[in-house]
Each structure stands twice: as structure tokens, then as C-alpha cells.
Structure 1
Amino acid sequence: MRHTYPITVAGLKRELPICKVSDELYIGAFVVFGDAELTVACARELLKLAEPGSYDYMLTAEAKGIPLIHEMARQSGAEKYILLRKGAKVYMPDPLCVSDQSITTAGAQKLYMSRDDAALVKGKRILLVDDVISTGGSMRAMEELVKLAGGTVTGRIAVLAEGAAQQRDDIKYLAPLPVFNADGTVKA
């Protein structure tokens, strides 16, 4: 039997499958891919968390942040947002790069910012956007790339704050998400 966790986020109810990260840690898998209704609702509510006029560009890392930030840009009328990649692409000569450790990715991963995007970020105020903040590793890597490019992070928002991330005072989020035991119960 697969355990699920019921959650209401952005006014919508969903059942998140509980997935094993390690023998001691299970998480509720929040995936916006393929759920247009959820993506639109979360983008709308995330924009409400963003301080109006406090940022020049929104920035996220692939992959699950892509539909969220795209919809946020569409709803807000933003003409450009910044996307960090998990691999260097041929159209990214000499990209900026930092290492990252995510709870949902085995081993270290790298994040890349194109030099074109770095030029846009320089001297600008940046709003970081993510789907779930857990350990904060991805958020730290995004922030490090913004600093390397000469920008300033002015806000950090996410759909969900998982586990200990709920205690952080430097992020805003739509809903809390606990972590779980193997039997599907919430970890104390």
C-alpha cells in the first residue's frame, strides 16, 4: 500500500505520494508538472507573497520551478525571467557554475547561469522562486549564482516549506509540508 499525504495549497486539494529518501526520511512528493490548475493557482498565490517593486527579475532552477516561474511571468506581465540549468548547454559559453546538494537528487549537482543572464542580473534585485524548500541547498546555490553575477537577492518564495524549513524567517511560502516515517506518519 502506498501512503499519501493530503494537502491544500493555493486553495486546491491534492494527495502527495510519500516517497523514500533514506531509511530514516520520507517526503511528500510535490510535482506541478502536468497539473495546469495547480501551477496557475500556485503562481497566482506566489505573486501575492512577492513584495511589489522589490525585484527586477525572478529566478529559479530547473526543473520543477520552470512551469511556476513561467506562469508567474505570464500573470505578472514580466517579459523576462532567469532560469538556472542543471547542465551547461552549447548556447551557454563560459557559464557561471556552483555546486548544490538537493534532498531529492542523489549526490552533488551543479547549477549553471549563462553569461547573458549573468549580465542581466548584474546590479539587479532578484526574487528567488522554488517549488519546495527543504534543506535550503538549492536556494543557497541560486543565491550564490546571483552573487557571482553581481546581483542582490531581495526575496525568497516557495510553494512549500518542508520540515525544518518552516522555521526559517528568510523565506515566504504558501503551505507547510511535514516529513514522514516509513509507515506514512508525520515525523515528530
Structure 2
Amino acid sequence: MSDLTETIDRLVRPIEDWPEAGVTFRDITPLLADPVALAAVIDGMVELAEQVGPIDAVLGIEARGFLFGPSIALRLGAGFVPVRKAGKLPATSLSTSYDLEYGSAVLEMHVDALHAGARVLVVDDVLATGGTMLAAADLVRQAGGTVAGNLVMIELLALGGQERLAPLGCASLRTY
């Protein structure tokens, strides 16, 4: 097992039955509190992102995509675009609804966040069912951009997100 995998296993704690029964939440806050571990995760995500090729923007999904996305964007020399939950953005926005592992939600992005033809890397912390990533891809398409790749720290294999994201795919540092 690699050092990075061991670090993730040691510092990301599973919380059973949260936010509801049957769901195992992956709490990344202990990892975020450790500057050496956080730097290693950012380094690992940047290495995976570089395999996508040149990008114009890193799109981070609220809320934990905001924790990794800006650092990755800076390292890649790209801009950062936040994708927010409904009603959180002040200017005219694009919108899409999607299903979660335990419900449904709406994501929004400012209508002028991307230029036509932009190559975008979508970043979040965990890939579960793939619904959130698919919603982000829909927003990118609505704005006239292209999803160049998807990137997460953790993928939960049993929930089938990778299959739902085909052919876009999603790179991850750790799978469970």
C-alpha cells in the first residue's frame, strides 16, 4: 500500500448511518487538519490532473470540492469555478437537478463562469453514485464547455459512480 493510501486510510474516518441510516459518510476533516497529509493529497490530485492535459478551469463542487479545487487550479495555472447549491450565487446562474445517494438536490453555476469551448476539470472529495459529477458536467455543457476530466480523492466502488460517469471517467487517489 502506498504512503498516500495509508495516509488517507488513517485520516479519513467512516461515520456509519450519517446523515441517515444505511449511509457511510467519509469524514475528511482529520485529513484537512494535518498539513503534511493535506499537501500530499493535493500533490497526488495534481499528478492525476496533469494526465488530463491542458485545462482552462477547475470546477469545484460545493462544499468539499472547494477545499481541493483552488489549490489544484493554482498548481495547474487554471482558474477556479465554484458550483453551488441552489440559491447561493448572486448573479444569473445556470441550474441543474440531480439525485443523491440519499435524496435529490440542485446545483448552480454563474452563467458567465466559463467561456465557450473551455476545457474543465471537475473536482470533488468523494465519488459515490456519480449524480453530483453528472450534474456538474451538465452545467459545463450548458455553458458551452467540455469536461476534460473528473477527479476525486476517494471513490466508493459499490455505489457505481464510475459506471454512471462513462465515458467521462473519474480518477481517484483511493477506492473503497
> What band does the TM-score fall into relative to the shorter chain?
0.7 to 0.9
Amino acid across the alignment from 2:137:
E
Q: Distance in 1 between matches of 2:109 and 2:145?
A: 12
Alignment of 1:132-143 (within 5 A): 132-143=126-137
Residue 111 of structure 1 corresponds to which residue in structure 2? 107
Q: How many residues align?
A: 163
For the pair shown, which has the larger CA radius of gyration, 1 or 2?
1
> Contact 1:87 / 1:111 at 8 angstroms: preserved in 2?
yes
Measured against aligned partners, the alpha-carbon deviations of 1:83-105 in whole angstroms (never above 9, x if no partner) come to: 10102346212x100002222xx
Residue 60 of structure 2 corresponds to which residue in structure 1? 60
Measured against aligned partners, the alpha-carbon deviations of 1:4-24 in whole angstroms (never above 9, x if no partner) come to: xxxx7455232513321554x
Q: How has the CA–CA distance of structure 1 residues 101 and 167 changed in structure 2, closer, same or farther, with 3 Å as cutoff? A: closer
Q: Distance in 1 between matches of 2:38 and 2:128?
A: 20
> Contact 1:46 / 1:159 at 8 angstroms: preserved in 2?
yes
Alignment of 1:1-188 (within 5 A): 9=4, 12=7, 13-20=10-17, 23=21, 25-32=22-29, 34-35=32-33, 37=35, 38-50=37-49, 51=51, 53-78=53-78, 80-89=79-88, 91-93=90-92, 95-103=93-101, 107-117=103-113, 120-164=114-158, 165=160, 168=163, 170-177=169-176
Residue 184 of structure 1 corresponds to which residue in structure 2? none
TM-score of the aligned structures, taking structure 2 as reference length: 0.79
Q: How has the CA–CA distance of structure 1 residues 102 and 40 changed in structure 2, closer, same or farther, with 3 Å as cutoff? A: farther
Measured against aligned partners, the alpha-carbon deviations of 1:123-161 in whole angstroms (never above 9, x if no partner) come to: 111111111001000000000111111111111111011
Q: Distance in 1 between matches of 2:148 and 2:94?
A: 20
Amino acid across the alignment from 1:92:
A
- Following TM superposition, the consecutive aligned residue runs of length 4 or more in structure 1 with deviations greater than 6 angstroms are none
Amino acid across the alignment from 1:135:
T
TM-score of the aligned structures, taking structure 1 as reference length: 0.75
Q: Distance in 2 between matches of 1:167 and 1:109?
A: 20
Q: Distance in 1 between matches of 2:107 and 2:127?
A: 16
Work out the percentage of aligned pairs sharing the same amino acid: 29
> Contact 2:122 / 2:149 at 8 angstroms: preserved in 1?
yes
Query: Hey, which of these two has a bigger chunk of helix by percent?
Result: 2
Q: CA deviation at 1:167?
A: 5.7
Q: Distance in 1 between matches of 2:136 and 2:161?
A: 19
Q: Distance in 2 between matches of 1:166 and 1:90?
A: 27
Amino acid across the alignment from 1:107:
G
Deviates more, 1:82-91 or 1:131-140: 82-91
> Contact 2:119 / 2:146 at 8 angstroms: preserved in 1?
yes
Amino acid across the alignment from 1:123:
G
Q: How has the CA–CA distance of structure 1 residues 14 and 89 changed in structure 2, closer, same or farther, with 3 Å as cutoff? A: closer
Query: Helix, strand or coil for the counterpart of 1:81?
Result: strand
RMSD: 2.5
